[in-house]
Structure 1
């Protein structure tokens, strides 16, 4: 299956690629996610962007969160045919809860010649100091930040390994908005990649 990254299907290689890791639940993926991803691979120094689908925490019940592999399938269909983008289930088999620093360590072990960087919204940057071993992440991997509406760069202490992608399109589409709209019987086909929307409709998700 093309455009899918797993701990089995992603082989080790000597190619020195810069990989951007875009973590999220993608419940569901939408055009805002794709617009940000497209900008990152075209306007930053990363070679590929991996959509890392976050698994459901087994200790928490969340009725509106689809099964892990259903969300992965929507992401896969969204990026299919675009070699710059990948769907990843790398966290599905790791211990839970998933911590980014542990995922990075695993990926580095599997792909020692890849250079991984985290992509995050500016809202997450403001709380980044609360992440497990955040100093290790920023020192050894680095972060690319896409601004959210209302982000004030002057109020954030920026590390030398943190890049603010200031030209990133400001996207206010949210997965929660789409879920609510679908539940209300609204047609959201132009808010989502076509193949992802077709799968969502076929499976009757979020009704």
Structure 2
């Protein structure tokens, strides 16, 4: 089985995440996309991050209606902070018959050299890169790389930070979230402060 790994803190998961995941699984050779909920991204601050359980629950709610998109808590069981190269090694050991690829935004590709053992990732795994609006330049070694596949996907400029700030400011952001995710956030009074 060919699995695309879409990593994120998903704080919260929003329709932009779902649009990208669905577009890629429907327009590539991948059989499934796993939404890998990251306990903590080592390149980001942890402030304002909901507990792992709540973020995973929102990913479960958001992906219920999608046969090819699955939530994953694989990183919850690994040493923190989480490094993608370690997660990939663990998945390879746990699911030896699966072929794993990474799904990332173009902004992440531009900063990939900051990742632990990025050379191993680029050498051993396919990367499916979706467009993002940003001014940074893609490093020359990643241009025309045989394992890096640029995907023509909708450009979604929607962020979890924007959603959290909008909720705090008492703005209606319901169209940006799966209905069940919105209800879960509203019921638990998340992101109000």
SS at match of 2:104: strand
Higher helix content, 1 or 2 = 2
Name the structure 2 match of 1:158: 144
Name the structure 2 match of 1:183: 168
Report deviation, 1:168. Answer: 0.3
2:84 and 2:16 mapped to 1: Cα distance? 22
Taking the TM superposition and a 5 Å limit, the aligned residue runs for 1:40-189 are 40-56=24-40, 62-150=46-134, 157-165=143-151, 167-189=152-174
| Cα pair distance change 1:98/1:153, threshold 3 Å | closer
- Contact 2:40/2:82, CA 8 A, preserved across alignment: no
Report deviation, 1:154. Answer: 9.7
Q: TM-score when scaled to structure 1?
A: 0.86
| Cα pair distance change 1:143/1:92, threshold 3 Å | same
| Cα pair distance change 1:128/1:180, threshold 3 Å | same
Name the structure 1 match of 2:191: 206
1:19 and 1:57 mapped to 2: Cα distance? 21
2:103 and 2:176 mapped to 1: Cα distance? 22
Report deviation, 1:27. Answer: 0.6
SS at match of 2:76: coil
1:146 and 1:30 mapped to 2: Cα distance? 16
CA displacement 1:23-59 (0-9 Å, x = unmatched): 001011101000001100111111100000110379x
SS at match of 2:34: strand
Q: TM-score when scaled to structure 2?
A: 0.91
SS at match of 1:148: coil
| Cα pair distance change 1:105/1:162, threshold 3 Å | same
- Contact 2:109/2:138, CA 8 A, preserved across alignment: no
Report deviation, 1:157. Answer: 2.2
Name the structure 1 match of 2:22: 38
Name the structure 1 match of 2:11: 27
- Contact 2:7/2:37, CA 8 A, preserved across alignment: yes
2:41 and 2:111 mapped to 1: Cα distance? 20
Matched residue pairs, number? 189
Structure 2 residues not aligned, in runs of 5+: none
